[in-house]
Structure 1
């Protein structure tokens, strides 16, 4: 048995890398929420690379592992489209394959060429991971869902350095930790066989970076000076997606929304938040609908931030969020969604490939919003400009950053998670709001049509969430919370908010340097 294992160690390592990577990758994210899996998710492949696989084996194993892991992670997409689930998980799996191929190439040329070559390898493979995450955020209109940094959403101590280098730096630090631990594990195996001690600089670099981005950042959390912001209400109607646009049910839907909102009035909120596309008709462009919601806001004597469609004309429609004020009515400006979901809110290349409408029968394209359009909440003591993100937009760091740069005192995320049923999508989506809160040091208030609703402070702590008696998020109801903020960040911007994705450019440079160093060397790995 021992001889067989030695003779087949590369195949065993290949199978182990495939299985363990899927387990760790899936386990690191909601709903399983084992963030420590992010510390080891890349180690199985990094160790297998040292056992002599071919480039073809690496490519196919990486593609299949990535495809299966992502198929499980975004299985909730099956509620909308099975074909989309298969294709999208394959595309994201392709990015993991590219990381495997690039890292394997670096390992073939750098490792075994002296202990110090471990540094450009570890930095290069970590930079490659960040570069591919960034590319995933814009290729084919972008799907930056669940970056490695999102695995740490429930560990705020891991996220505080995002104020400097954004969530990209957290992903880099985790990838570097994987590379350093893998190198140290191989060093221990080598020592047990040969009794030869070797220096492992990448491991110590990984520890330095890990400590720098965690324990040294506790100074941000300590010494908070919190002040009350407002008392906010979250109204969650839980309208099933197959009923949302059914004209025969519109009266029933409006009655449910009104009932839930009126139940919140005795709690004396300063404002009420509704989720994305709450109403069955647009507010702007439909005078009856506008009069209905203005009457409701006046009745409860509370401003309503309402998600609903916008009809500027018969042809021009937006997905928007309005501010409806008691007595004064609809605020003249509204927020229009800036990043639309392809094949959900519009069909790409409709004019070039008109046949695609037969596969994705969307009646008409929504138009893309242009600006951040802050909505002002006026209270007796202050006015707070609220930056809005609609649904999918909070997975794009640049959108929250632009709203903060324009003066947003807090961020509001309105979403319609009923598309994906009672699934992990709600929790995975919420994890991105945690990252946006820390990056910009802004409170994030989220309201979903059917979960997740709650608010997150500037340090990534989930302060409150809307739960029923059984502790579940999927139900029709609402509540109010006292929302506060740290005065130290009032009117201030983080380094990341000011400079943006500068660290991605650093990673491109680090990857280029590692590649140039690697080009100096040729040959196979040395065990």
Structure 2
């Protein structure tokens, strides 16, 4: 009986490995990312999948299996999008799932090139898999206008030890290390099974390489966050008005919205803030149309005796032919509206504009957008004047903090800290808020700049230069407070290696993948190396 069971397992081991991969890989992948945040799951989520690939399944099987894993995982991760559109949520999950399939096919192809025996046979596929993962994540930043949501590095935001190296490499290096570690563990387990069957001991270089690399970026770079020299930066009053999305643009609620915003803002005066910050498009009218909103906001800033950074719609042009922008304005006490303002550069397709609108005019019936919002053209910094200095504020609106280049551009122009104005009311009480916060953590570490996130609801708080959350409000409640923002004086006026040189590590991954493809068949021999 035991012999028959053993024979059955031997005959069906590839199918069993495929089933295990289909269950454990998506389970661990989803668990590792916000809102679940089991960061240790990211160390092993690809181990079952890597073991299955070692059996040499067909490319068709790899594509279908990986697409199912990717699609199902992303349906869970972005399920909050169903509050806006069920069809869009399912389609977007499928598109991101295809990216996982492309990665899996590339790794399968690389593994087949390295089929054979030898101590070094798994080195090229492991390095290639890690490099290709980074390449695919980077491509997600641009394909279909870009959706780099939840890179694998976001799994580590709750314990940002590994993330400190992002100030040099960008957060891409953490994704690289995690995939490399997964394939190293898979290779080690495969060789343990080989040893149990053949009694031939062998070295597993891919495991030791992965372990060494992970330790290097995790602990050797801890010095980047040690010896901090913190100093007071400014006192920020943050307003989380918690306006329901179905009321936000309803004129019947305009007086209520404006009245509550005024009440909450003026209540902060007793706490002596240096500036107040509002969330994205908090006002029901544009702020710069020389109308009542502009005069009202100037009076409010004067009453607060502090400037207000306000997320609001902006307009340009003449009446009847206006261009609309999703903007951040600066309202100064006594002086009123600052002449320059920031406008969102990376807009949400089918949310803020219809791509190639002329090709499908019928889309207006499906997507309720009367007119397109236009993108801003640059990172317009805004001044925060303090008693002894002026801080330059780099603004990001909504999901712009998922794009590393936008935060990097603002800091290159001289931003002393980053301010993210957002509105998560579209997505209900869901994991979208914690997922969105995770990207702000990555941007803070990459740029070594404090990040202040102010939301209509969801997550409002501030993050220091090393990815630690220093203060936050209760989500999905009407609330306001003053945060004492501090900074590490060692980074004042300085740029990180990543800010200066950008995505150099991504381009290195292209070279690593090409080198792995070339070396894979050359690292294989017909004789197992033993000792």
Q: State TM-score, norm by structure 1.
A: 0.96
Pair 1:146 & 2:147 matched: no
Partner SS state of residue 203, structure 1: helix
Q: Which runs of 4+ in 1 moved over 6 A?
A: 519-524
Q: Which residue of 2 aligns with 1:46?
A: 50
Q: State TM-score, norm by structure 2.
A: 0.96
Partner SS state of residue 164, structure 2: coil
- Measured after TM superposition, the shift of residue 202 of structure 1 is 0.8
Are the aligned partners of 1:111 and 1:121 in contact in 2 as well (CA < 8 Å)?
no
Partner SS state of residue 265, structure 2: helix
Structure 1 pair 357–520 and aligned structure 2 pair: CA distance change class (3 A): farther
Pair 1:490 & 2:497 matched: no
Are the aligned partners of 2:393 and 2:415 in contact in 1 as well (CA < 8 Å)?
yes
After superposition, residues 182-193 of structure 1 pair within 5 angstroms as 182-193=186-197
Q: Which residue of 1 aligns with 2:386?
A: 379
Q: What CA distance in whole angstroms lies between the structure 2 residues aligned with 1:215 and 1:482?
A: 29
- Measured after TM superposition, the shift of residue 355 of structure 1 is 2.0
After superposition, residues 66-81 of structure 1 pair within 5 angstroms as 66-81=70-85
Partner SS state of residue 53, structure 2: helix
Q: What CA distance in whole angstroms lies between the structure 2 residues aligned with 1:365 and 1:351?
A: 12
Partner SS state of residue 160, structure 1: helix
Partner SS state of residue 99, structure 1: helix
Deviation per residue, 1:247-296 (Å, 9 max, x gap): 12111111111121122221111111100000000001151110111111
Q: How many residues align?
A: 520
Q: What CA distance in whole angstroms lies between the structure 2 residues aligned with 1:52 and 1:225?
A: 53
Q: Which residue of 1 aligns with 2:435?
A: 428
Q: Which residue of 2 aligns with 1:65?
A: 69
Q: Which residue of 2 aligns with 1:514?
A: 516
Q: Which residue of 1 aligns with 2:374?
A: 367
Q: What CA distance in whole angstroms lies between the structure 2 residues aligned with 1:214 and 1:519?
A: 32
Q: Which residue of 1 aligns with 2:171?
A: 167
Deviation per residue, 1:303-359 (Å, 9 max, x gap): 110000001123311000001111111111000001000000100010122222222
- Measured after TM superposition, the shift of residue 522 of structure 1 is 10
Partner SS state of residue 351, structure 1: helix
Are the aligned partners of 1:273 and 1:447 in contact in 2 as well (CA < 8 Å)?
yes
Partner SS state of residue 156, structure 1: coil
Q: Which residue of 2 aligns with 1:470?
A: none
Q: Which residue of 2 aligns with 1:347?
A: 354
Gaps of 5+ in 1: 468-472
Most deviating of 335-344 and 194-203: 194-203
Q: What CA distance in whole angstroms lies between the structure 2 residues aligned with 1:16 and 1:85?
A: 27
Are the aligned partners of 1:109 and 1:521 in contact in 2 as well (CA < 8 Å)?
no
* RMSD (Å), alpha carbons: 1.5
Q: What CA distance in whole angstroms lies between the structure 2 residues aligned with 1:246 and 1:234?
A: 24
Pair 1:307 & 2:314 matched: no
Q: What CA distance in whole angstroms lies between the structure 2 residues aligned with 1:341 and 1:152?
A: 26
Pair 1:34 & 2:38 matched: yes
Q: Which residue of 1 aligns with 2:226?
A: 222
Aligned counterpart in structure 2 of residue 321 of structure 1, from 325, 328, 341? 328
Q: Which residue of 1 aligns with 2:266?
A: 262
Q: What CA distance in whole angstroms lies between the structure 1 residues aligned with 2:24 and 2:178?
A: 17
Are the aligned partners of 1:275 and 1:414 in contact in 2 as well (CA < 8 Å)?
yes
Most deviating of 227-236 and 506-515: 506-515
Q: What CA distance in whole angstroms lies between the structure 1 residues aligned with 2:6 and 2:276?
A: 67
Are the aligned partners of 1:109 and 1:522 in contact in 2 as well (CA < 8 Å)?
no
- Measured after TM superposition, the shift of residue 47 of structure 1 is 0.3
Q: What CA distance in whole angstroms lies between the structure 2 residues aligned with 1:38 and 1:128?
A: 17
Gaps of 5+ in 2: none
Aligned counterpart in structure 2 of residue 458 of structure 1, from 445, 450, 465? 465
Aligned counterpart in structure 2 of residue 91 of structure 1, from 88, 92, 95? 95
After superposition, residues 279-290 of structure 1 pair within 5 angstroms as 279-290=283-294
